[in-house]
Amino acid sequence: MNDINLCEIENHLDYLQLLSNQFPAIPAVCTEIINLQAILNLPKETEHFLTDIHGEYESFIHVLRNASGVLKIKINEIFGDELTDDDKKGLATLLYYPEQKLEIVKKQETNMRDWYKATLSRLIRLCRVVASKYTRSKVRKALPQEFAYVIEELLHENENRLNKQEYYNQLINTMIDIDRAEQFIAAIAKLIQRLAVDRLHIVGDIYDRGPGAHIVLDRLMAYHSVDIQWGNHDILWMGAAGGSNACIANVIRICTRYANMETIEEGYGINMLPLARFAVEYYGDDPCVQFQPKVSVNTHHSEKDLRLIAKMHKAIAIIQFKLEGQLIQENPQYQMEKRLLLDKMDYQNGTIKINSKSYPLNDTYFPTIDRDNPYQLTDEEEEVVAKLHASFINSEKLQKHVRFLYSKGSMYLKYNSNLLYHACIPMNADGTFKDVFFGNNSYQGKELLDLLDRSARDFYFYQDNFNKALLGTDIMWYLWCGEYSPLFGKDQMTTLERYFIDEKETHTENKNPYFRLRDDETCCNYILNNFGLDSRVAHIINGHVPVKAKKGESPIKANGKLLVIDGGFARAYQPTTGIAGYTLIYNSYGLLLVSHGPFESTGKAITEGQDILSTMIVLEKVNRKYISDTDLGLKLKEKIKYLKMLLMAYRKGMIKEQQ
């Protein structure tokens, strides 16, 4: 209390008066100070980092359930040689999928009572360990209401203590006798999953390619503590939900490219019939060779479905190129004139001129393009776009998910000495920040990301007041594919060239110098300092560009200063990366990088106990960190400071205690 003076109290008297409503008397203030001081000495919470999920909901949910292998490690630590490998494998499967595993066990076990007793005992032991770093109050808030009393009793009592041994045994026996053991097992398994990780970070790209982005979002909305750093694929869907027609066209094109109609139709109820009818009318006799969807071997689509999707794919691609051309012409500040390519086509000779060189087109059937005004939509295309626009802005589930992305998301996050952003910070070749112009002003580094964060929110929430003069007519589309978008990080998106030109030299997308400079520790420190972080202890965590582990590339850059944890969650990337994603664990002992093998299916995980093969690398081991060392600790210390002021104000009579 010696560090508190009366002058400081007087300067904060209004705030202290408000605080007194929560703590109306000296005993309440003292109790809270004691509680917060104690919390500061608990171990740092466990953080879990994932990125580039790309709709692969089965892999994502499994990694959430097993906490990137942390729970398997806990099982090995606790039970060691006490259990066989098969028993530990079975216990792990029960933890991840309790209801489904119980159905299998009931068909196999001859003495379920003994199995229940042994399993409950093991789960309680495991739960005690994962709960041990939290206050009783925090654990209590996480308890399933139905079994809160029983779990709390079992967690905080020593079953070997003579006076309580019978009491402990009777709790379990009664649970079995009244046929509640299964529900109790499921509840405590989910509690263990909940307590294994305190904070989940999603470093961008939930959407596209895989079939279940909407399922991933549902799961994230139910998660106890999560933040999201937007990726370019997320911003694309956010733009579509906000009514950007160019974003809508891109979203649908990508869905048709990967035959991912589940997300758009079943997940969000987007009516694709107008596009399908239009595609059949205008491209019915076109084989659409370049627009055949990329599908897995086990696709559930029929050949007839895939032919229709290919026609829809081409139809929406042409609409996209027209809409994008209109935006580029309207917004010279985007500096994307080189992406105006429809007017560079020689439709009679079937060629296209790029950078003064002429290339043959592999497809010359363009029934909806006016040669004299190639960026003009036909009346029928206008009608299709209008109907798609209405479907997107009126999709209740999509709007709910996008509002969640805004409420939990941002362009970047500073958290516990880590800087999280999806792709890059635009830079010059010499390692300085790129000046990016909007209007007459230039922005760079942190101030650029701050501007774009505000702009993305204004686009969705304040469309009538959105500053088009400064940011152009569609900042969300620019964030998706603009040269200096921190979410994209390339000089161009060569979508048209990849469809219509065979020569691969036209497909080149040059990366921003950032992606070379991120190997340089000095550059990483420069970025961290710009964001107000201590470069001696801080790290940068990225996704966006899959790490080609198959070719020997390491996710660890700049002597461990920067970590790239996109390793190929999306199945489409796995042949290139050679793995199925990286995740990161940051616990009280340091940073752990986890490399995952491909996940076959939830069904095999349940029936065969087939877990993801994960390899864990200790990146950084530190003296054990406590809450006092974290961002939360700083907030608690600040709160303690004000509580001490309130305590002195009570004792000095500057604020009266409430009776």
pLDDT at residue 277 in the model: 97
- Owner of token pair 């580029």: 328
For residues 263 and 211, the answer to whether their CB atoms sit within 8 Å is yes
Paired with 556 in beta bridges are 563
The one-character DSSP state at 589 is T
- Comparing CA positions, the residue from 320, 342, 336, 337 lying closest to residue 245 is 320
> 48: closest CA among 191, 193, 199?
199
Contact 593, 619 (CB under 8 A): yes
Q: For the sheet containing 556-557, what is the strand order?
A: 412-415, 418-421, 539-542, 562-564, 556-557
Q: What angle, rounded to 10 degrees, do the helices at 303-330 and 273-283 form?
A: 100
Q: What is the DSSP letter of 502?
A: -
Three-class DSSP category at 632:
helix
Q: Which two tokens stand for residue 516?
A: 């070379």
Which residues fall within 8 angstroms of residue 288, CB to CB, at 6 or more apart? Answer: 307, 310, 311, 313, 314
Domain ranges of the chain: 6-42+630-651, 47-203+543-625, 231-392
| 634 Cβ contact list (under 8 Å, min separation 6) | none
Q: Are strands 441-443 and 436-438 parallel, antiparallel or unpaired?
A: antiparallel
What CA–CA distances, in Å, run from 584 to 16, 488, 514, 613, 614? 41, 22, 22, 15, 12
Dihedral angle at the C-alpha atoms of 389, 394, 399, 401, nearest 10 degrees? -90
Return the axis-axis angle of helices 631-652 and 13-22, rounded to nearest 10°: 100
Euclidean distance between CA atoms 423 and 349, whole angstroms = 40
- Looking at residue 578, its pLDDT comes to 44
Q: Output DSSP code: residue 426.
A: -
Quote the pLDDT of residue 69: 81
Biggest CA–CA distance in the chain, Å, is 94
- What contacts 31, CB < 8 A, 6 or more positions away? none
Residues of the chain with pLDDT under 50: 577-579
Q: How far is CA 22 from CA 25, 136, 152, 228, 349, in A?
A: 9, 21, 27, 31, 78
DSSP bridge partners of 43? 626
pLDDT value of residue 62: 85
CA angle 247, 252, 257 (to 5 degrees): 125
Report CA-CA distances (Å) from 167 to 67, 129, 162, 163, 402: 33, 21, 10, 8, 50
Residue 576's pLDDT is 52
State pLDDT tens for residues 528-564.
Answer: 999 999 999 999 999 887 776 556 678 889 999 999 9
Pick from 484, 402, 416, 409: which is nearest to 231 by CA? 409
Task: Read off the tokens for 532.
Answer: 């107000």
Contacts 24+ apart (CB under 8 A), 105-110: none
Dig out the tokens for 246 from the structure. Answer: 């160019």
User: Which helix (H) or strand (E) covers residue 74, if one does?
Assistant: helix 70-79
Check if the beta carbon of residue 103 is closer than 8 Å to that of residue 231: no
The dihedral sign for the CA sequence 235, 236, 240, 246: positive
Contact (CB, 8 A) for 173 and 121: no
